[in-house]
Structure 1
């Protein structure tokens, strides 16, 4: 007689997340250039603009940090945030047919899709590092642990906001158009092209509400301590990260059943 193998709830949950993860890889990279383009597109965009800004500025440092590294950090983190948030925001809608299976819950799709985005962007960072090495561009990171922490906090904020929007899209599908419009200025108000130190201090209050700006500036400071951390706070980022995470989990817990039934 065949023996029935029982699995714990945690094991089932892990298997579901891994299955959705593989499904997402196949759907995202279902053509010959799919997986390559997911890396080539952001790398070429970041490298081209960073190199252009470095050339136009004559290679002059920005507050102690090289122009290329200054631009590369800003653009990489903003793209990382937007890509993760947008993918997570579409996770429930994209995986809705799977929820007919009792073992599959929306949180599994959110974790699988956002996890894939994290790995893709991490690979983008590695490729940028390799290209910089091949082109003999000097990139030094003083505190790599702090950089990883900042990247993780940015990912948590992006996933939290994406989870809130993912639930909201189930009730108001048109909301995604408003979110797209609201996120477009992030490239300009998050310190991607300009340091907070280049802006008069009296205007800092209009920009420092943005945690992405804090994370970008703190990452530059972690890479090159001479850059400084004026106007930004690691404590503020930690508080905002925890608040967004708590609010996202609360919204999900309250409304995920109603969301997938619509």
Structure 2
């Protein structure tokens, strides 16, 4: 007589997330370049912009190699925008799977945001290897803090993406608003400039953005002499906790109605 193997709820949840993760990877590897293009594309974009900026300012910005000044900002901002964009469509995208009682929208959110995080980790590794062979040595005074900042950005992006994903189930036009709202983020999050370049009386127009704090603090964690003027770990942590809490509350209150529409 065959023995029925019992699985814990956590095990089932983990298997569902992994299955959606694999499904998402397969859906992005339909052409010849496959998953490799998800890493090659952002790496090429970062190198191109960093090279152009380095040619304009002599290769150094506030005591940091312009290449790494740009790379730190672009990795974090690209990670944020990619995660928000992917997570915001995750619930609708996997709606047919919710017919299975083991599959819930949170599984889709975690699988897709986890895949985006993994891609950005590979991007960082590839950039580090290429920079090493090109003779660029990056200083990492506090690598643990750099990892924690990336995780904060991941939580913020996943939370915002979840809020947009839930809202779009009730109001489909919200996707257009999200696309419009995310466009300025690339230019106001400190990729091309440092907060130190802006007169102090104008800082309050920019420091509401937690992504700017993440970028500047990441540069400070790698290069302590860069300084952390105008940015705060407390504000970044507060935004992370607030947005994560808001996303969890909204999800718990509305996920059943969202998937039934």
Q: Which TM-score applies when normalising by structure 1?
A: 0.98
**2:108 equivalent in structure 1:** 109
The alpha-carbon deviation at position 41 of structure 1 amounts to 0.7
- Distance in 1 (CA, whole Å) between partners of 2:97 and 2:63 is 51
Unaligned runs of at least 5 residues, structure 2: none
Matches within 5 A, 1:37-48: 37-48=37-48
The alpha-carbon deviation at position 217 of structure 1 amounts to 0.1
The CA deviation string for residues 209-237 of structure 1, in whole angstroms up to 9 with x for no partner, is 00000000000000101100000000110
**1:119 equivalent in structure 2:** 118
- Distance in 1 (CA, whole Å) between partners of 2:135 and 2:61 is 19
**2:204 equivalent in structure 1:** 205
**1:14 equivalent in structure 2:** 14
The alpha-carbon deviation at position 2 of structure 1 amounts to 1.3
**2:213 equivalent in structure 1:** 214
- Distance in 1 (CA, whole Å) between partners of 2:129 and 2:146 is 18
* Count of residue correspondences: 261
The alpha-carbon deviation at position 138 of structure 1 amounts to 2.3
- Secondary structure of residue in 1 paired with 2:166: helix
**2:171 equivalent in structure 1:** 172
**1:261 equivalent in structure 2:** 260
- Distance in 1 (CA, whole Å) between partners of 2:27 and 2:65 is 39
**2:99 equivalent in structure 1:** 100
**1:34 equivalent in structure 2:** 34
Mean Cα deviation higher: 211-220 or 180-189: 180-189
Mean Cα deviation higher: 132-141 or 83-92: 132-141
Mean Cα deviation higher: 28-37 or 227-236: 28-37
- Distance in 1 (CA, whole Å) between partners of 2:52 and 2:42 is 15
Matches within 5 A, 1:99-248: 99-248=98-247
The alpha-carbon deviation at position 66 of structure 1 amounts to 1.4
- Secondary structure of residue in 1 paired with 2:2: coil
**1:87 equivalent in structure 2:** 86
The alpha-carbon deviation at position 30 of structure 1 amounts to 2.0
- Distance in 1 (CA, whole Å) between partners of 2:31 and 2:115 is 17
The alpha-carbon deviation at position 31 of structure 1 amounts to 2.1
Segments of 4+ in structure 1 off by > 6 A?
none
- Distance in 2 (CA, whole Å) between partners of 1:138 and 1:50 is 15
The CA deviation string for residues 34-90 of structure 1, in whole angstroms up to 9 with x for no partner, is 21211111000001100111122112x222211111111111110010001111111
- Distance in 2 (CA, whole Å) between partners of 1:209 and 1:72 is 22
- Distance in 2 (CA, whole Å) between partners of 1:105 and 1:179 is 23
- Distance in 1 (CA, whole Å) between partners of 2:58 and 2:235 is 35
Q: Which TM-score applies when normalising by structure 2?
A: 0.98
- Distance in 2 (CA, whole Å) between partners of 1:42 and 1:3 is 49
- Secondary structure of residue in 1 paired with 2:248: helix
CA RMSD of aligned residues (A): 0.8
